[in-house]
Structure 1
C-alpha cells in the first residue's frame, strides 16, 4: 500500500459518512461564519480576534475531534492493526491517517480567513502569521487527537473524550481575547499560542517567536505522550 492510496481511502471514508461531513466539513464553516457575523454586528472581536477563534474552531472540529473519532473507528474495525503491519513505516501511516483532516483545515481556513479579511475595515497587515498559525495548529491538533484516541475505546464515545481537548483549544482562545496579553503560563493552554499567531497577522508589531516556541513545546509533548499511550488494536 502506498501513502497516497491510504490518503485517498481515508478521504473517501470521511466524505461518505454524513455525520463526519456535518461535523468536520460543515460545522467549522458555519460556526466560523457565525462568529464573524457576531463580531461584526457587535463591533467587538473582528479582524485578528475573529480569525483566531475561527482557526481554533476548525482545528477543534476536524483535525482534533474528527480525527479522534476516525482513529477510534479504525481501531475498532482492526484497520489500524492491519496498517501497522503493512509495508509503510509508522510515521507514513500516521501522516496518511491525518492528511484528509489537515487538508480540510487548510481549505476551511483559507475560506474563513478570506471572508474575515473582506468583511473587516482593514485587511491583515501581514499574511504569513496566518499561514504559520495553520501550519503549527494542525500538527498540534493531530497530536492531541492521537493522545485522546488512546482513551477512546469506541467511536461513539469520542463526543465525550474530546471535550477536554476542545475546551483547551477553544477555551484557550477565549481566554486570550479576555486577557490583557498572553503570558507564558497562559501559553500552556493549546489554544492560546495558536490564537496568538493568528492575531499577529493584524498586529505587525506583535512578536511571533513566543507563540511559535509554545506551540513547538506543546506539540512535542503531545506527540511524546501519544506515542506512549496510543494503541493500534482494541484492548482485549
Structure 2
C-alpha cells in the first residue's frame, strides 16, 4: 500500500467512525434515500402516462439513483466538512503529511462508499421490486454514478464556503436540492418540462449526470447520442469549475 493510499484509508476510517456516532448524518446517509425513493414512487404514480414515457418503475430507478447521490454525497458531506472545519480538525490535519486533496478525499470516502453500496443495491434489487428491466447500459450507469460522486463532492465542498454552521447546512443545501429535483430530473422526468425550460435546465450541474444515469438504465435511445455527448461535456465542465472554486475559496478554519 502506498503512502497516499494509507493516509486516505486512515482518514476514511476515522471519518466513518465519527459518522457512526452522528445519528443525524447517519440517518441522512442510510435511511433518507430509502424514504425519498418511496416518496418518489408515490408521486410518480399520480402522473399521466404521457408524462412518464419511460414508465413509473424506470423513472423511479433513474430518480432514485440521483436521489442517493444527492442525499448521501452532497447533503451529508456538507454537514461533515463544516463540522470538521468548526472543530479545527481540517486545520490540524494540514499540519501533518496529508496533502489538501487527500484530506478532502479522505473526508468524502465514507459517503462515497455508502453511495456506491446503495446504488449497487438499487441496481440489483430495484428491477425486481419495481418489475422493470435491468440497466440497458451498465457502463453508462457506472460512468454517471462516478461522475456524480466527483461532482457532488466538489459542490459540497464549495457549499461549505457559505455554510456558517452545521445547523445552517440544511438551509444552504436546500436550494440546489430543490432546483436539481425539478430541473435535473430527480423528482420529475426531464421530458415533463416545457421545451424552452428544459433547454435551460439541461445546463444545470446535475443534469448531465442524470442524462448519463438515464441512458444507463433505459438505453441511449432514451436520451439521444448527441445529447449524451453534451451531458458528458456538461458534467466535466461543472467538475472543473467546482474544483477551481474549491481551490480558490474553500476555508480550512471557521470565520473569526
Task: Give the TM-score of the pair, scaled to structure 2.
Answer: 0.84
Distance (whole Å) between structure 1 residues aligned to residue 46 and residue 201 of structure 2: 29
User: Which segment is superposed worse, 161-170 or 181-190?
Assistant: 181-190
Q: Which of 22, 25, 31 is 1:26 aligned to?
A: 31
Distance (whole Å) between structure 2 residues aligned to residue 40 and residue 163 of structure 1: 25
**Deviation of residue 88 (structure 1)?**
0.8
Counterpart secondary structure, 1:124: coil
Distance (whole Å) between structure 2 residues aligned to residue 189 and residue 225 of structure 1: 16
User: Which segment is superposed worse, 202-211 or 18-27?
Assistant: 202-211
**Deviation of residue 148 (structure 1)?**
0.5
Q: Deviations over 1:27-80 (max 9, x none)?
A: 012212442465468664434422221122112211111000011110110001
Coordinate RMSD, CA, aligned: 2.2
In the TM superposition, 1:145-184 aligns within 5 A as: 145-171=156-182, 172-173=184-185, 174=188, 176-179=190-193
Q: Does 1:217 align with 2:231?
A: no
Unaligned runs of 5+ in 1: none
Distance (whole Å) between structure 1 residues aligned to residue 164 and residue 198 of structure 2: 36
Unaligned runs of 5+ in 2: 1-5
Distance (whole Å) between structure 2 residues aligned to residue 220 and residue 185 of structure 1: 20
In the TM superposition, 1:102-113 aligns within 5 A as: 102-113=112-123
Q: Which of 7, 15, 31 is 1:2 aligned to?
A: 7
Q: Does 1:189 align with 2:204?
A: yes
Tell me: CA distance 1:10–1:103, structure 2 relative to 1, closer, same or farther (3 Å): same
Task: Give the TM-score of the pair, scaled to structure 1.
Answer: 0.90
Q: Does 1:17 align with 2:22?
A: yes
Q: Deviations over 1:194-234 (max 9, x none)?
A: 21111112124332322111111111111111221110001
